Amino acid sequence: MIAVAVAAAAVTLGACGREDFENEPRPPLPFDVSVELNEDEVILSPKTFGAGIATFTIVNFTDEPTSFSIDGPTADESDEVPPGATGTLKTEVVTGNYEGVAEGNASTPFEFEVTAERESAQDNLLLP
């Protein structure tokens, strides 16, 4: 009797999956953008990149704590970055024109462009 119940449970649980399920492709890998904040201007490199998750690595070369923000179709702001230190801002950006701004600083904003979404990372080896 117990053997019959175990066999029935195994058949029932085995029938729960679908063999025709298609996996969604992986999203694009996050893109790294370098940001320099100084007294005169904000500098981003590169100034054009594809939509998706972007990690902005911010270096503050000013004498005051400063945060970095992006203004455009996506708007976001980093935490305050102390003078001479680095910080990061990780956000998903969509296609469009943007401005990179040093908040609380009179430096000139930097204009950059986000183009169409980058290719899937489906065939890329992901390292730890």
Q: What is the pLDDT of residue 93?
A: 93
Name the H helices within 15-121: none
State residue 30's pLDDT score: 82
Domains, the chain: 31-117 (2.60.40.420)
Nearest 5°: phi and psi at 71? -125, 125
Average pLDDT of the chain?
82
- Model pLDDT for residues 87-119, shown as the tens digit of each residue: 999 999 999 999 999 987 778 889 999 988 766
Query: Which residue carries 């992901």 as its tokens?
Result: 126
Q: For residue 41, what are the β-bridge partners?
A: 108
Q: Which residue has the higher pLDDT, 29 or 78?
A: 78
